[in-house]
Structure 1
Amino acid sequence: MRLKTIKLAGFKSFVDPTNAHFPTNLAAVVGPNGCGKSNIIDAVRWVMGESSAKHLRGESMTDVIFNGSSVRKPVGQAAIELVFDNADKSLGGEYAQYAEISIKRVVTREARSDYFLNGTRCRRKDITDIFLGTGLGPRSYAIIEQGMISRLIESKPEELRVYIEEAAGISKYKERRRETENRMRHTRENLARLSDIRDELGKQLAHLEKQARDAERYKELKEEERLLRDQLYALRWRALEYSVSQHEGQIRELETRLEAATASVREFEAAITRDREQQFSVSDEFNRVQSQYYQLGSDIARLQQSQRYQLERMEEINAAINSVESQREQAQQLISADRDALALVESELTTIAPQQALLEAEAEAANEQLGDAEHALNEWQQDWEQFQQHSQAPRQRAEVEQSRIAHQEQALQRGQERLARLETEQAGLSGGALETELAELNELAAEQQLIADDAQLRLDDTVQSLQSQRVALGDAGTRLDSLRQALQGLSGRESALRALQEASEKGQRGVNEWLQAHRIDTTPIAQSLRVTPGWERAVETVLGAQLHSVSVSSLDELSDQLNDLPQGVLSVAEAASAAPETIEGSLAAEVSGAPGWLLQALSQVRTATSLAEALAARHQLSAQASLITPEGLWLSQHWLRVHTQAADASSGELARRRELADLAAQRDDISSALDEAQRHQQQLRESLRDAEINREQQQRDVTAHYRQISDTQGQIGARQVRLEQFVARRDRILQEIDEVSRQTQIDREYLAEARLSLQEALDLMSNDTQRREVLLSQREGLRDRVDLARQAQRDKREGLHRCALTMQTLTARCQGLRDGLARVGTQVDDLRERRETMAEQLLSINHATSEDPQLLEALLEQHVETETQLSQLRDQVETLQAQLREAETGRVRAVQQQQSVRDSLNALRMEWQNVATRRDAQADLLHEAQADLTELLAQLPAQAQEAEWQLSLERVGQRVARLGAINLAAIDEFTASSERKVYLDQQDADLMEALETLENAIRKIDRETRALFKDTFEQVNNGLQALFPKVFGGGSAYLALTDDDLLEAGVSIMARPPGKKNSTIHLLSGGEKALTALSLVFSIFQLNPAPFCLLDEVDAPLDDANVARFARLVEEMSQQVQFIYITHNKIAMEMAKQLMGVTMQEPGVSRLVSVNVDEAAALANQ
């Protein structure tokens, strides 16, 4: 297999589509520095799978895309394609049927990289697998870039080992070993998980058997317990139903007494309302006169204060005028001084300007003299460097040629001995036909691996999903239980509150029917009120029965309809009524959604947060005002009312209505959440069951796939080693015989050339002493001239700097004086305007002070008249307040009596509601247990007692408790767990067998790897020992292992050129390192030649003699290996069969020009 064509498009400087054809085995790429020659090497490495941008001389993978030039825009993608000639079918297996192999890679600006094999998209791994064992790869010894030849020889032992492994074809074994280790890791992980499951399952089976025996006994006792509990609920319901009937009779009696007390309260309230209206009228007139009285007093005080202020203001203005005159005189003096200073500075600037121009001219002349002196010294330095280079070359050449002569004489003798050994070994080799069987096994292994990888991925996803589903199912059960408990608590509370509300409205049924008959809305005001939480009891205490009022458009409309009223209390109010002007600090501020008349009544009641605060503020109340606390404690200056209720926050009607609304909203939310949680739990159970079945089947499939792969890999490894060993050894012997014959002839020619070259170098070494002495004498004079010129230039530059600094200082001072004159002039104008303004203000104040005495006398007369009128109105207000207190006292006594009856009624209703709620709770329990109440009551004897049934139930419960925790599903779980245990034991045995098979495969791969590495190491070492003296003309080199373990040992190289005894490879010169590295690389090529070899300026550190030797060696090896090399050396160019020039006529864009040397020579001869 050989490289036929490289196709480049958009890659680095090759922006246009470019095809580089290589019809010969020896092609040289030439061109000036920076034209893009090395980009061809980068292109080959990149398309073969290089993933590090650093090794492609970039920072990111998108740096390989052409980034534009001065005349071209950047392109969107880069593409490289390698076309290989596989006519000899050296690339076997599934690719042997193709005469050409195409490998392509494309990368876009979005960093997307795609690989193609014969036009089909593939993975990067598919590309690298093709070249495993061939010596090719993005970082193999077959591609040597700039600087790599020295890095190779200086690399660490572990890095140098990689090249030997690639030559031995071990890389594919290491890849298979890595894959086998991955399978072993997965198998051990599966075994660990399986072991945990089996241990846990064994513990479960130990408990399930006993639990199954207890399950039946538990079911029997629970059935008996259920029947006794249902009968107990029925007994309790029967007793509570009787208690409810007794409470209802007592409630009807108290409701009649409450209606009589309410009528008495309303009579007193009507009288209070009339007195309050009169009081409001007189109070309004009193407030108006009082406001007028206070306003007159305020006007009199303001006028007297104004007169005093005007006198003080006149004195301030006169003082300010005197101050302004003084400031203006000071500013005039400052202007005169600044003008004198400005004239002096301008005179100094006129004197310094000519001096600065003269100093600038002298500094320029000094700079020119210094430049001439430095130029002369630089010319001398160039002459000296040229002389040094010229005199050193003959001496080095003589030393090299002496070493070459000794080396060539030794090489001729070793070549003849080696040729005899190879001819003897060639006679005993024979081959077989293993290629067809190996190709079939490779195809089978690839298919099995793809199937196993897919199965393992599916199994991992299923296990992860199972764990998530188990956690989700536990969370769903916990949430379902909490929702059920919350819903049951809300339902019981809501039932109790509704029963209490219906009982409080029971006496109003007749009135509500009357309202509906007359088409009046029966909605009470209490239903529309929104009271600040905590103030409900206070509002109920003040409003009382008015909470049950209904709204009408006008009370006049009811005058003809009141004759047919039914028994009950009717309270109506006009909807349209004026709201109070202010409610801040009153009980009305805690209420919203109320009509205006209701807010009027509540605005007369102030609020206090506690009893202590109310008692402290009581003495500041007016006669008609009162105070109330959130607990319903109501008081004024002379009376106190305490409304005691049950401790329950819902005992008030307003609080009950608010709590009922909140409970209804919460119940709806929890019911919706409960339905959704039940559906979600059922879905999770079904999904978990299906996933468990699927996981078990997938685990069986994965185990079977890996067992098949291991068997196939073992067969492939054995056959491939046998085939490769035979073919490699046969080819190596043929190559070595041919190479040794040619090398013997070359060594004879090299020996003659070395002797002639040595004599020429000795003749050139005798002519350089006089020239050296002349150059050294010229150097001292030139250095003195430069020092004198530099000191003169420094003195002139310092004088010029001092003059420029003085000039800048005077210029800045001149500008500062001009700015100061402008600012002082503006200040003088401002002072003049201020003086004129203050004079005008003084005239205005004198005019105003003459009009105030007459106005003050008139206001004093009006103030005396208003005071008399205010005293009369105060007497009328006190008389009305006394009448109102008397009526209020009577109302308090009536309300106390009403409240006493209401409290008794509410307490009885709470007891009734409590009993009814308990009764309904028993019925709900029976309903939840799906028991028939009527049937249970019929079964119970008439003399049945609750205590007797409770005792029986407790006895059965004790028997159930003695059984302990019972798993009702224990029987089914025990059967299912037993079956699963048998299956898991079988699975564990299968995994152990698979693990043993994989370990055997690892041991087999290690054995074959050791054998191959040892054989290859010895052969490469022998080749290096033979090739090194040929390249250096003598000396010795060898390879050594850093450890006895052939699987891990590093490889080090020792080299001793002729006449030297180096202790380490790092002591060699750059050229010696390059030759040593080339010797190693070519030794590897002799053993396992790669299809082609790329060399990038590896001859750069070599002199002409070593380049010629390198060129001959490459030309010999080109018979078996295709060489493509980049060079600037003419000797290396002459060796090439094909010259490929890289130009950059357009800046930033590379182009190729290819010439076949043989065809060009034939054309020239014609």
Structure 2
Amino acid sequence: MRLKQLEIKGFKSFASQTVVNFDADVIGIVGPNGSGKSNIVDAIRWVLGEQKGSELRLDKMASVIFNGTRKKKPGNLASVSLTFENDKSLLATDYTTVTVTRMLYRSGDSEYRLNGVQCRLKDIRNLFLDTGIGSNSYAIIALGMVDDILADKDNSRRRMFEQAAGISKYKDRKKESLRKLKNTEDDLDRIEDVLHEITNNLSSLEKQAKRARKYRDLKQQYRDFSLLLTGIRVEKLRLDHARLKEETAQAEESYKHTESRITELETQLDQERQRHVDKERLVGERQRKLNALVGELRGLENDQRLLQQRKTFIDQQTRKLAEEIRAASGQLETYATEIGQMTEQLGAEREKLTQREAARQEAEQALQRVKEGHAGLKSQLDSGLREQQQEERKVFELEKRRAINSNQVDNYRYQVDRNLEEMENRTKERATLESEIQQLNADESAAAAALADLETREAQRQQAIETAVGESERLQSELGRINRGLDARRNEYKLTKSMIDSLEGFPESIRYLSKNRSWTPDPQLLSDLLLVEPDYRAAIENFLEPYLNHYVVSSPQEAQAAIQLLADKQKGKAHFFILEAIPDEATAPTASPAGTRPAAEVVTVDAPFRKLTDRLLHGVYVTPEEQLPPQPADGVTILSSGGQYIRRAYSVSGGSVGLFEGKKIGRKKNLELLHREIREAEERSAALSRELEQQRSTLAELRGQRLDRQIPEKQRELNKLQQRAAGLQARAEGFQSYFTDTQAKNAQLQEEADKLVQLNREMDAELIGLRDRINHLRHNVAGTDEDYRRLSEELSSASAAYNQENILFIQQQNRVETLERELAFRGKRREELQRQEVTNREQLKSLEREAGQISQQEGTLERNIGQMRQEKEEYQATLSSAEKAYYDARSLINAREDELRRENRLRQDAQVKVNQLREKFTDVRFKLNGVEERLKIEFNLDLEQLAAVEVEEWTGTVTDLEIKVDRLRSRIGNYGEINPMAVEAYDEMKERHETITQQRDDIIAAKGTLLKTIKEIEDTATVQFLDAFERVRVFFIDVFRSLFTEDDNCDLILLDPENPLESGIEIVAKPKGKRPQTISQLSGGEKTLTATALLFALYLLKPAPFCIFDEVDAPLDDANIAKFNRIVKKFSRDSQFIIVTHNKLTMEAVDSIYGVYTTEQGGSGVVPVQFTELEGSTTFSAR
């Protein structure tokens, strides 16, 4: 498989579509710094799925999009496509050509494509899995990654070995399996918690289900009697409904009679109101006419006032215009005088301007004649000076070269003296170095011993930490177990206390006597006095079942008080044990049957009640046997400890044991026991918490006493000593070669100094001739310079005279222009005043005509106002007569309205009666509806369905039936809280318990399968990795010696052979003549060759389809470059190589070159050069 083509657009500095064809075995990418060479490598990393911006030299991934230049806008899309030839079917696909594309939009959206089809990054990674191709594979190596490989940064060595060994998929599968195992363990913990909770709740739900069934039976009785009572009530309501319907019809007939009389009166009243409306309309019409006349009169009076105001305004404007006309006449006369004077002055100034212009032209002509003579002489003088300066520069250059040579001779001689002195110093220094090397060897031994001591102490600390961690985990587990038990006991305590407080399962009489303690301060039930051993509770409870609800009292008086209280409150019946009535003497013991023990021994009771339990359990024995025992003697009863049976002399009873049997007896005693156990568990939990906290403090203290920082420091100190010793040894060994080189260098320096002395003698002879020539040229220039200075003075005088005349001319010109502007301004102002005077005179005439018209209008308005005032008085008299007729008609209407109100009151009384009957009728109907709604809500029946319901016949009175229903309702109300869904919830929870138990078993099986899978993965990966490691180790030694010499030593070592999959890998490289303690002590070139040897060893194990080296050859010298190029050529038969380089020797070795250049600041371009097409040619060009 080979790389075929790379297409880049909008990626980093490549704004335009850029295509790179990989059609050779070794391809070079060259260009100046900053041109964008490494961006091609980044593009390949990016398209292969690189997600870290730092690996692409970016602060954020969005920066891959072209950011624009001064001439180009920023791009909106970065797109890179990489095409492979899959001719060897290395990729798991049927296509022979595979193109991978990655696109990123500036909006943040991104796409991956395979052969143009959109896909996921995971699909691309799966495609290249174990092929040696990837964004972080060993196929793409940059210069900085060489140091990462040698320093093993971020386990880079191990990652490369895993890729080459093909175990990456195993590690991924193991990681996935471990994740599934963690999820499985979490699921198992959750299911265990759920099972614990369900188990605790299941027993409570079973009891609630029994209670709910009893409650349903009670509800059924209540339903039957309620339906019977409702049927009786419905029949009575229907009779009332018929009677009220008849009475309502009679009241409505009376109401209708009153309604017709009111209608008649309202008709008469409407007629009177119509006539009254005509009179009202006449009054209104006359009133409107009077108002209109008054409004018109006010308008005329307002017009009269406006005319007077306008007349006053005209008088004011007339006076103002006359004043403006007089002022304008005076200004016009002034302007006429000034214009005449300025015209005469302008003529005189223009004549002076003509004279000044003639004088200026004459001075300019004289200046030009002097300039022409001056320019000719200056040209002659400049020519002589240039020739003189050329000769002087020659002298200066010779003198400078002679001085440089002399200085160089002195430097050579000084260097020879320095070298001799340095050789003497080096001789002394060599003796000193040998002494220092001995001291450093001693220090190195001491540092190695200190490092070993630190490592021993650190190992002991780690062992102590492991012990402390184990103890902490044990305490944590114990604390969790105790806390779970404590939670269970607390829940049981709460449930038991709730049952005791609510007296659940006891009859109403017991609950009433326990809450109302007027008959005794501390009522005691037999079931609360007993504490039975857990294994015998069901047996004792079954036997004492008839007596468990008995109260234990001291005297008959207490029992009498309780019985009287129950009788008074109608709360049922209760039973009592009277202690003082029980004899104190013990009953005669009976012989214990074989394999039994007396039941009294398994019961714990306070001393005052012991004689009662002895009487109740006399002759009662318990046995652990599940099989029925032989027939016992008379008066002997044998109980199965599990509660399966009760065996008497002539009878036996038994059967299945309920889930809650044994829970009723000894509740109060059990509550006290639970309280003690909870207190003890809390104390134990607190003690464990303190112990765990102390253990954690110890662990934190141990972790704080870290020596892992001192160990690297001590190791670095040891390395420094070793490096220092190696450096000193190398310096000592290099002294002899220094002496030989220095002696040869001194001889060469002396020879160079002799050559420079001979050269200076030749320069001295040439300088004498040049100085004579310069003296002759200086004499000629001095004669020409005197004439030049004289002409320069004449030119200065002529120039000053011309400048003076020119200034006078400009000043005169400015005076003429100023007079012309002033004359034009006054002429324009005079014309404006003349136009304004004409306008004012016309306005004055117009105002005089308007004043005459206003006087005529005032006379007309005065006559019209007088006539209207007379008409106003006549209209007011007519209006008064119409108003009198209007008020007479109004009095008649009021009388009719009074009569109508009386009839309305009669109608209202009839309406009230009708409404009352309707309300009663509605009330009966509402009661029927209420009964029907209650039936619907309470029993989901309607009245028709009620008639069809069959119930038992009631022979008593309705009152007795109501009492019966009320009692049933009261019993239901006092039954206490029940869980209506308890039966269904119990069945559902039981089914859920079974389901979750099965799930737990399945998860445990899955956990075992996962552990087995992980073990198989580790075994397979370990074998494959060790095989690959050994092969790479052999390849590494061969390649390393081919790059160095056959005598050089190198090796690859697993630091933790017991755990190879997680072990670090150490590289040992010792070129001949050197003893480096670590790889970091090698030179830059040696490091590069070592890393190259490791990479090519990996390629020998698993050749990568292509390899990319980004300036990896930078640290290599010419000799090592040749080795590097040879091994690349050798491996290019199996893998394609793409090399980004600055080295000319590497450029010569490649088959084709792509040159990257800067199109403009921030943009890049690419040009190809195919060397295979240029064989035998001496020149070429790249297009």
- What is the TM-score when the length of structure 1 is the normalising length? 0.48
Question: Larger Rg: 1 or 2?
Answer: 2
- What is the TM-score when the length of structure 2 is the normalising length? 0.48
